[in-house]
């Protein structure tokens, strides 16, 4: 069995001014080929103006089981939202 | 759709489920998407690998009957369109393989299962494409049937599969329209051209109906897959929808659907139609269709003939990265 090409995650900036966004993955022998393949696989209809490729193995992801400990602390901090504060109508838009 | 007869694992009553399985089913019932690293029942994972894998294989093998006509397209424009369509099918296969790989199966394992005949692809691609009109019939009927199945699958419970389906559906409508465009052209042409279009419809009608899989009364795997929302409609529901949509389109072309029993049923608000020959369907699935050996042979040959090239690029990448490492080392 020959060695399988590594997996790359593909991020595409759809338009100028937007963030790169994850669109999927593909296999390629190296970064240069990953970009070429991404051009063919993910931008056949002008979907992008810029491509990032990252080896899937190089991505560290938060684990689904940590959801609680990671995000719960922000639940109690309602004062981080503008709606926490009552501003009288007379003050006008703020 | 391209996924027929996908064997479903599991099927437990709520009483038999573990607390984890109950929580999982509740998430699906709330229409939450399941994402790759989250807990899922082993049966859900296995059934999805089978279904997405079969779907991906169908996209890839589906390039072959149309690729057959690229060099013989009647005009340069038709050739460019057909090339773009076949390239899209390759892209669709790749989106789906990616989705399957997030479930812990490797690309090589999937291809190996296709090449050894362990995994299937849609029965439709085991029929020959004999004339240019077949390019019209394939786009119109085969892609039309595929869209019927893929549109609801955009809401499937597994996140990566759903996202792949959304991308695919965006692109698929061009495929059906280009097929119908070919049919319109031929039906407005000479009597010989129109006869070719009729002949293509005659040959592809029943194989297209088979694409939705066996009749609901013989479809044993539906219930669990529907509970998991990896199958959104029953085979017969989709087949009925397809017939209702397609018959008026055939009438517009002035073509006759090859079914003497086809009749509008006012009461059910749909057509009554003849079922395809299911013994033919099962024979094709089992590997005995007109082109099974040719299709699989072409896939295996492409994979084997390309091995030196894939290995060569890997060797080049390894050397280049070794050289870069050595250069960095020397600079330090």
**Looking at residue B266, what is its pLDDT?**
96
* Closest residue of chain B to A31, computed from CA coordinates: B317
Q: How confident is the model at residue B173 (pLDDT cuts 50, 70, 90)?
A: confident
**B contact test, residue of A24, A31, A39, A59 with most B CBs within 10 A:** A24
Among A24, A25, A61, the residue with its CB nearest the CB of B37 is A61
Q: How confident is the model at residue A66 (pLDDT cuts 50, 70, 90)?
A: confident
Domain count, chain B: 1
Residue with tokens 């027929």: B4
- CATH assignment at residue B75: 1.20.1260.10
Residue A2 to residue B311, Cβ atoms within 8 A: yes
Q: Concatenate the DSSP letters of all residues of B109-172 into one string.
A: HHHHHHHTTSS---GGGGS---STHHHHHIIIIIHHHHHHHHHHHTT-SBHHHHHHHHHHHHHH
**Looking at residue B202, what is its pLDDT?**
98
Task: Flag whether B308 is in a domain.
Answer: no
Q: Which residues of B touch A61 (CB under 8 A)?
A: 37
Q: What's the whole-number mean pLDDT along residues B143-164?
A: 96
**Looking at residue B50, what is its pLDDT?**
95
**Looking at residue A1, what is its pLDDT?**
42
CB A39 within 8 A of CB B91: no
Give dist(CA B206, CA A24) in Å, integer: 35
Top-tier CATH class for A7-89:
alpha beta
Does any CB of chain B come closer than 8 Å to the CB of residue A68?
A: no
**Looking at residue B112, what is its pLDDT?**
96
Q: Which residues of A touch B171 (CB under 8 A)?
A: 44-45
Could you tell me how far CA B276 lies from the centroid of its own chain?
19
Query: Whole-model pTM?
Result: 0.92
Could you tell me how far CA B297 lies from the centroid of its own chain?
19
Whether pLDDT at A2 is above 70: no
Task: Flag whether B278 is in a domain.
Answer: yes
**Looking at residue B4, what is its pLDDT?**
74
Give dist(CA B208, CA A31) in Å, integer: 41
Q: What's the whole-number mean pLDDT along residues B182-191?
A: 98
Q: Does the predicted interface ipTM exceed a cut of 0.95?
A: no
**A contact test, residue of B90, B94, B99, B171 with most A CBs within 10 A:** B94
B320 to chain A nearest CA, in Å?
Answer: 9
Task: Flag whether B163 is in a domain.
Answer: yes
Over residues B90-135, the pLDDT tens digits come to 999 999 999 999 999 999 999 999 999 999 999 999 999 999 999 9
Q: Please give the residue range of the domain that contains residue B136.
A: 14-289
Vertex B102: Cα angle to B97 and B104 (nearest 5): 100
**A contact test, residue of B110, B171, B310, B319 with most A CBs within 10 A:** B310
Give dist(CA B23, CA B26) in Å, integer: 5
Residue spans of the domains in chain A: they are 7-89
What is the token pair recorded at A76? 């109690």
B47 burial via Cβ count (<10 Å: 0-12, 13-18, 19+): buried
Task: Flag whether B95 is in a domain.
Answer: yes
* Closest residue of chain A to B319, computed from CA coordinates: A30
Give dist(CA B189, CA B183) in Å, integer: 10
Residue A61 to residue B316, Cβ atoms within 8 A: no
Give dist(CA B123, CA B240) in Å, integer: 19
Q: What's the whole-number mean pLDDT along residues B30-47?
A: 94
Does any CB of chain B come closer than 8 Å to the CB of residue A75?
A: no
* Closest residue of chain B to A2, computed from CA coordinates: B311
Checking DSSP bridges between strand A50-55 and strand A7-13, what pairing results, if any?
antiparallel
Percent of chain B clearing pLDDT 70 (strictly above): 98
Does any CB of chain B come closer than 8 Å to the CB of residue A46?
A: no
Q: What share of chain A is helix, strand, coil (3-state, %, to 5)?
A: 40, 20, 40
Q: Counting runs of H as helices and runs of E as strands, what totals does chain A give? A: 2, 3
Q: What's the whole-number mean pLDDT along residues B163-177?
A: 93
Lowest mean pLDDT segment, chosen from B177-191, B200-214, B216-230, B300-314? B216-230
Dihedral sign from CA coordinates of B66, B68, B70, B73:
negative
**Looking at residue B217, what is its pLDDT?**
85
**Looking at residue B12, what is its pLDDT?**
77
Task: Flag whether B5 is in a domain.
Answer: no
Over residues B213-253, the pLDDT tens digits come to 999 888 777 888 999 999 999 999 999 999 999 999 999 99
**Looking at residue B10, what is its pLDDT?**
65
B1 burial via Cβ count (<10 Å: 0-12, 13-18, 19+): buried
Q: What's the whole-number mean pLDDT along residues A36-60?
A: 95
Give dist(CA B65, CA B317) in Å, integer: 34
How many CB pairs below 8 A link A and B?
53
Q: What's the whole-number mean pLDDT along residues B286-305?
A: 96
**B contact test, residue of A5, A31, A67 with most B CBs within 10 A:** A5
The overall longest dimension of chain B from CA atoms, in Å, is 83
């Amino acid at each position: 069995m020959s060695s399988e090409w590594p997996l790359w995650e593909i991020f595409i900036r759809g338009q100028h001014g937007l963030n790169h966004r994850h669109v999927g993955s593909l296999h390629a022998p190296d970064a240069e080929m990953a970009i070429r393949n991404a051009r063919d696989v993910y931008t056949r209809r002008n979907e992008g103006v810029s491509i990032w490729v990252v080896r899937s193995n190089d991505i560290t992801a938060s684990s689904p089981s940590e959801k609680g400990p990671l995000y719960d602390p922000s639940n109690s901090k309602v004062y981080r939202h503008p709606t926490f504060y009552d501003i009288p109508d007379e003050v006008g838009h703020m | 759709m391209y996924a027929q007869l996908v064997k479903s694992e599991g099927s437990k009553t709520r009483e038999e489920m573990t607390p984890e399985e109950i929580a999982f089913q509740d998430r699906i019932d709330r229409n939450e998407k399941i994402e790759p690293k989250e807990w899922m029942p082993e049966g859900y994972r296995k059934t999805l690998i089978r279904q997405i894998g079969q779907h991906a294989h169908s996209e890839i093998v589906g390039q072959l009957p149309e690729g057959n006509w690229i060099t013989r397209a009647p005009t340069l424009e038709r050739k460019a369109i057909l090339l773009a369509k076949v390239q899209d099918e390759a892209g669709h296969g790749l989106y789906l393989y990616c989705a399957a790989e997030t479930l812990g199966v490797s690309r090589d394992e999937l291809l190996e299962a296709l090449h050894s005949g362990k995994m299937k692809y849609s029965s439709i691609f085991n029929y020959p494409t004999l004339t240019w009109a077949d390019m019209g019939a394939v786009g119109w009927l085969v892609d039309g049937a595929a869209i019927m199945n893929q549109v609801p699958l955009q809401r499937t419970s597994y996140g990566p599969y759903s996202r792949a389906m959304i991308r695919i559906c965006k692109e698929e409508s061009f495929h059906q329209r280009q097929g119908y465009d070919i049919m319109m052209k031929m039906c407005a042409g000479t009597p010989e051209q129109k006869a070719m279009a009729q002949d293509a419809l005659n040959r592809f009608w029943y194989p297209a109906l088979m694409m939705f899989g066996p009749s609901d009364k013989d479809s044993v795997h539906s219930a669990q897959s529907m509970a998991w929302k990896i199958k959104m409609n029953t085979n017969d529901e989709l087949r009925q929808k397809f017939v209702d949509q397609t018959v008026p389109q055939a009438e517009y072309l002035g073509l006759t659907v090859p079914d003497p029993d086809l009749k509008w049923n006012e009461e059910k608000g749909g057509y009554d139609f003849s079922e395809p020959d299911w013994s033919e369907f099962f024979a094709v699935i089992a590997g005995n269709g007109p082109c099974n050996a040719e299709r699989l042979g072409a896939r295996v040959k492409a994979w084997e003939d390309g091995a030196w090239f894939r290995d060569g690029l890997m060797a080049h990448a390894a050397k280049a990265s070794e050289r870069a490492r050595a250069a960095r080392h020397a600079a330090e």
